[in-house]
Amino acid sequence: MYEAHYGFREKPFSLLPDPSFLYLSKKHRMALAMLEYGLANQAGFTVVSGGIGTGKTTLIRHLLNNLEQDITVGLISNTHRSFGELLQWILLAFNLDYRDKGKVELYQAFVDFMIQEYARNRRTVLIVDEAQNMAPETLEELRMLSNVNADKDQVLQVVLVGQEELRDTLRRPDLVQFAQRITVDYHLTPLTAEETRDLIRHRLEAAGGDPELFTEAAAEIAHRFSGGVPRLVNLLCDTALVYGYAEQRERIDADLMNEVVREKQAGGLFPAPPPGAARTDQPVPEPARPETPPVAGQTLPPAAVPAGPPATTTAAEPAQPPARTVSDSDPDIDPALVQTRPFRVAIVGESAVLRRHLRRLIEPYNIRVVGEFGLQDSQSPELNPYHVDILLIDISEAAEDCTAEICDLITEWNIPVLFNDCQQTQASLDGRDPQFAQRLVAKLVDLLPPQLRADPAARPNRA
């Protein structure tokens, strides 16, 4: 519809995973390099993970289009918890007959195929997309299947691509042998503001249009409201072109992009804006931070924090949910602990599984987890401290090394901090401490300034 008006050969912001439009940001370039390295060096297992819409499938399509001729590839692109017999899907991926065969026959058929390919000096590579849907038992079966080797060569190489839940699954204690087989792994994160602008220019130019069709301010708004997720950026930009065509605009500016965002959010299917994302052509400056002294919480000596800089795993803060009402369906929740309005907590912890468990424990008490990141991650957190009321750090009391970045973070953010023993979190996860959640929430509530506990409406607007 708008292609002729703007001089495009084709739609520049299609949501389909088209490798011809792949924008190789620094993150995507690194992920592609890791995939190519894994294939070239006969890695047994290669894992690439990332959030929804970060471009994982497009990377795989690009990889498939550029593979060497001596590689035989099978692709499983749609997994789910009940997708059936793994060996049947593998044989189907390599165009092998899988019908009317028992499990032993399926196994033998695939082993014979791999040996045949090896005899022809060809490598066999199985790629599983959306691998986060595979059950731990299926992953273990896949590991056992990879045990077929010949001399020093890896007969079967496996590439797993999936969302963040895949990493959590692979950290399970019962999959430790699988995790030890992973030679190469990489996690894709959302784009920065600069990368989002470059993505928009790249796709416009790849479609034969003017790379400067979107103003800088429009691109900034697209980044702000998409959180840097490429799929959401494409969705906003494609809709903006439709609006621009309807109004016969020559350029897509901030006013038009704001109108698109407003309409998308009104439909209820697009993420709500992060705080401070006002309608403006200029980035919204942060408000002055109130001079409020930090509130003391539990403390541990500096040596109790493990080494390793943290990294955030969430981009923008979601919209504030409505107040929670305690009902008869919540028999284990103390109504006295549930706040009239949610307060905001960021979780820091070494284990993604324990961080997720903490989130599940405290959110029923009308506490909103606005971000979480690991102690050993390699980037400083980008989460805005103005969007956080309490920092919850889940560490071991037996830790010996201090993380300078975490200490700097505590000093810089100047907000209440609660240190929690991760061994207690593990005991709660194992079902050995059923009262842990209420004790934890009570400590979090105690750390709130008195005016926030007594009158939530009096909370200063830091967002």
Same domain, 173 and 199: no
Coil vs helix vs strand at 283:
coil
Same domain, 77 and 179: yes
Rg (alpha carbons) of the chain, rounded to whole number = 25
Same domain, 215 and 349: no
- Identify which of 206, 207, 163, 185 has the alpha carbon closest to the alpha carbon of residue 57: 163
Let me know if residue 460 belongs to a domain: no
Give the amino acid at 102. Answer: G
What is the C-alpha separation between 315 and 449, in angstroms, rounded?
26
Range of the domain at 47: 25-186
Same domain, 149 and 44: yes
Tally of structural domains, the chain = 3
Sheet of strand 156-162: strand arrangement: 71-76, 123-128, 156-162, 45-50, 182-188
Give the amino acid at 294. Answer: P
Let me know if residue 452 belongs to a domain: no
Let me know if residue 294 belongs to a domain: no
Same domain, 127 and 208: no
Q: Are β-strands 182-188 and 343-349 bridged in parallel, bridged antiparallel, or unpaired?
A: unpaired
Let me know if residue 203 belongs to a domain: yes
Residue 100 CB contacts under 8 Å (≥ 6 apart), including other chains: none
What is the C-alpha separation between 28 and 186, in angstroms, rounded?
10
- Concatenate the DSSP letters of all residues of 303-343 into one string: GGSPSS--EES--SPPPPPPPP---TT-TTS-GGGS-SS-E
Let me know if residue 64 belongs to a domain: yes
CATH number for the domain that contains residue 237: 1.10.8.60
Q: Between the CA of residue 25 and those of 14, 30, 154, 200, 380, what are the distances in Å? A: 18, 8, 31, 12, 19
Query: Which residues in the chain show pLDDT less than 50?
Result: 274-331, 378-380, 400-402, 454-463
Quick one: pLDDT at residue 152? Answer: 65
Last residue of a domain, one of 223, 238, 265: 265
Residue 242 CB contacts under 8 Å (≥ 6 apart), including other chains: 1, 2
Same domain, 135 and 228: no
Q: Are β-strands 311-312 and 367-374 bridged in parallel, bridged antiparallel, or unpaired?
A: antiparallel
Strand partners, 340: none
Same domain, 254 and 358: no
Same domain, 439 and 419: yes
Last residue of a domain, one of 186, 209, 233: 186
Q: Between the CA of residue 260 and those of 22, 198, 265, what are the distances in Å? A: 24, 20, 9
Last residue of a domain, one of 142, 169, 186: 186
- Identify which of 400, 339, 407 has the alpha carbon closest to the alpha carbon of residue 368: 339
Let me know if residue 300 belongs to a domain: no
Structure tokens at 364: 């029923």
- Identify which of 244, 243, 233 has the alpha carbon closest to the alpha carbon of residue 197: 233
Let me know if residue 145 belongs to a domain: yes
Same domain, 126 and 238: no
78-81, long-range: CB < 8 A, 24+ apart: 78/129, 78/130, 79/128, 79/129, 79/130, 79/131, 79/133, 79/134, 80/133, 81/133, 81/135
Quick one: pLDDT at residue 453? Answer: 55
Residue 108 CB contacts under 8 Å (≥ 6 apart), including other chains: none
Same domain, 171 and 42: yes
Residue 6 CB contacts under 8 Å (≥ 6 apart), including other chains: 209, 210, 213, 241, 244, 245
CATH number for the domain that contains residue 401: 3.40.50.2300
Let me know if residue 253 belongs to a domain: yes
Q: Angle at Cα 14 formed by Cα 13 and Cα 18, nearest 5°?
A: 110
Same domain, 68 and 171: yes
Same domain, 98 and 238: no
- Residue 366: count other Cβ atoms within 10 Å of its Cβ: 21
